[in-house]
């Protein structure tokens, strides 16, 4: 059956269903059409004659605008399919406010109080005359189209205005026209071998104040009487709580009362002292948890910072390539340097992500193999980075070229070994994760 729906309404319906055509067609033909149009905030085009309000035209052939309460000829009044009509100037001011101040695009409702019928894009473009407002509206509806469409995603690279379209949604790398590579599923820089959910969890953990709390917990203690947090700022282990209502004297080391420490009852040196054992164990656990987090975080950040420097290395490599051409080498012969930097950046990106993967990974035989692969790749990557930062002279030219080529090939090989092992683990369910 062929059904003709105005293009303006079709766009609103598609936007309502996040541009999922199959879902829209299913609801349209198999569901309650009245409810469909109501949920999408549009007038049913097949029943609009019975729903729309009739214009209140006076005998003098004029209408009253219910916003500014002025009287206008019908030609200066505009309304939607719902029948609510207002003067052109009031519509322009209303739409401009919604677009410029509220940043609304396809979700602008009728100006009538309590009416949720949406203003279609053709009506907005007809009524708004200001070129800047029209341009912003076009940007808003374009952005809304991309964000609502699950097969589209804006490139996250700074200052890039391109969007990527895929045939199906999957956690895989996509390359923008600006050459930025990112994960279509989550929008982050491509992060193989770590999965999207773990990377998201890691980023939240790094941004969260919970690690600050861990530092406080690892470097401070609570008064055993009133539980006020205390930081030790001197060498003496005799602590006096600063809480004016407490003033409890206790030992920083064992958290026991200070009074026995100056008598024959002193037993702070005993590890299994009942009074303080639980407190010490809690402190040690917090320190251990923090130390483990910092181990992976510091290496993650180190590779992230190194990656930024490696990107700057391209400029230096270009100069080296020009210098090498001065030593009777052709343009093709010096391309090995650019290839080396490309592989170096890939290895840095991979290593950075392996520390996220490793942080959540439970120990088993396969995790030990992963760590060995990680170590081999890291060692080779650092050596390659060192080679590329050396000064190239006519004396060491041949030696450096051979070393760089050998090392980047080895890095490429070790990176593939690591990635293949992790992917095999995903397929065979080798990996178990901590909470």
In terms of Cα–Cα distance, which of 155, 201, 166 is closest to 296?
Answer: 201
Whether the pLDDT of residue 2 is over 60: the answer is no
Residue with tokens 């390659």: 384
Percentage of the chain exceeding pLDDT 90? 42
Buried b (16+ CB within 10 A) or exposed e, 160-191: eeebbeeeeeeeeebebeeebebbbbbeebbb
pLDDT exceeds 60 at position 275: no
> β-strand 229-230 against 221-222: which pairing, if any?
antiparallel
Which runs of E-coded beta strand occur in 223-280? 229-230, 238-240, 249-251
What b/e string do you get for 120-133 counting C-beta neighbours within 10 Å, with b at 16 or more? Answer: bbebbeebbeeeeb
Quick one: pLDDT at residue 218?
64
**Residues taking part in catalysis:** 236
Separate counts of helices (H) and strands (E) for the chain? 13, 12
User: Could you report the per-residue pLDDT of 146-195, keeping only the tens digit for each?
Assistant: 888 888 999 998 888 899 999 888 899 999 999 899 999 999 999 999 99
Q: What is the pLDDT of residues 66-111, one digit of tens each?
A: 899 999 998 899 998 888 999 999 999 999 999 999 988 888 999 9
Q: Which whole number is the average pLDDT over 111-138? A: 93
Q: State pLDDT tens for residues 323-362.
A: 777 777 788 878 888 899 999 999 999 999 999 999 999 9
For the cut 90, the answer to whether the pLDDT of residue 412 exceeds it is: yes
Output the pTM of the full model: 0.69
Q: Which long-range contacts (CB under 8 A, 24 or more apart) does 408-411 make?
A: 408/336, 408/339, 408/340, 408/343, 408/344, 408/384, 410/380, 411/343, 411/344, 411/347, 411/377, 411/380, 411/381, 411/384
Q: What is the mean pLDDT of the chain?
A: 85
- pLDDT at residue 52 tops 70: no
Rounded-to-10 torsion of CA 211, 212, 216, 217:
-20
Residue 341: both structure tokens together: 């930097």
Whether pLDDT at 270 is above 70 = no
pLDDT at position 118 over 90: yes
Predicted local distance difference test score (pLDDT) of residue 1: 42
What's the CA angle centered on 366, arms 295 and 351, to 5 degrees?
A: 45
Is residue 271 over pLDDT 50?
Answer: no
């Amino acid at each position: 059956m062929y059904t003709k729906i105005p293009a303006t309404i079709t766009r609103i319906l598609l936007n309502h269903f996040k541009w999922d055509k199959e879902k829209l067609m299913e609801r349209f033909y198999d569901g309650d059409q009245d409810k469909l149009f109501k949920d999408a905030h549009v007038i049913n085009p097949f029943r609009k004659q019975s729903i729309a309000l009739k214009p209140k035209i006076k005998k003098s052939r004029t209408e009253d605008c219910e916003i500014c309460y002025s009287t206008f000829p019908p030609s200066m009044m505009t309304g939607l399919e719902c029948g609510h009509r207002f003067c052109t100037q009031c519509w322009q001011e209303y739409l401009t406010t919604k677009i410029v101040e509220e940043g609304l695009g396809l979700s602008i409702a009728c100006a009538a109080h309590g009416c949720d019928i949406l203003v279609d894009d053709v009506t907005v473009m007809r009524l708004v005359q200001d070129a800047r407002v029209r341009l912003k509206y076009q940007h808003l509806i374009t952005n809304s189209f991309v964000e609502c469409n699950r097969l589209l995603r804006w490139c996250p690279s700074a200052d890039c205005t391109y969007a990527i379209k895929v045939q199906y949604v999957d956690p895989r790398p996509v390359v923008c026209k600006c050459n930025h590579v990112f994960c279509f599923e989550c929008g982050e820089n491509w992060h193989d071998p770590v999965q999207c959910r773990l990377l998201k969890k890691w980023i939240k953990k790094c941004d969260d104040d919970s690690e600050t709390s861990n530092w406080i917990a690892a470097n401070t203690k609570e008064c055993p009487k009133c539980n006020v947090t205390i930081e030790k700022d001197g060498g003496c282990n005799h602590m006096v709580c600063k809480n004016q209502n407490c003033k409890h004297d206790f030992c920083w080391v064992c958290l026991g009362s200070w009074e026995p420490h100056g008598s024959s009852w002193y037993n702070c040196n005993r590890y299994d002292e009942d009074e303080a054992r639980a407190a010490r164990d809690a402190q040690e656990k917090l320190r251990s948890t923090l130390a483990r987090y910092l181990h992976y975080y510091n290496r993650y950040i180190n590779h992230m910072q190194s990656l930024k420097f490696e990107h700057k290395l391209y400029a230096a490599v270009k100069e080296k390539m020009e210098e090498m051409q001065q030593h009777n080498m052709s343009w093709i012969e010096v391309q090995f340097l650019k290839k080396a930097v490309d592989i170096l950046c890939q290895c840095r990106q991979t290593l950075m992500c392996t520390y996220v993967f490793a942080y959540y990974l439970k120990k088993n035989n396969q995790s030990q193999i992963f760590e060995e692969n990680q170590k081999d790749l890291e060692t080779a990557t650092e050596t390659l980075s060192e080679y590329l930062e050396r000064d190239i002279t006519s004396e060491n030219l041949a030696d450096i070229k051979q070393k760089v080529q050998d090392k980047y090939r080895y890095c490429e090989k070790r990176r593939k070994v690591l990635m293949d092992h992790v992917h095999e683990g995903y397929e065979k369910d080798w990996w178990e994760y901590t909470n």
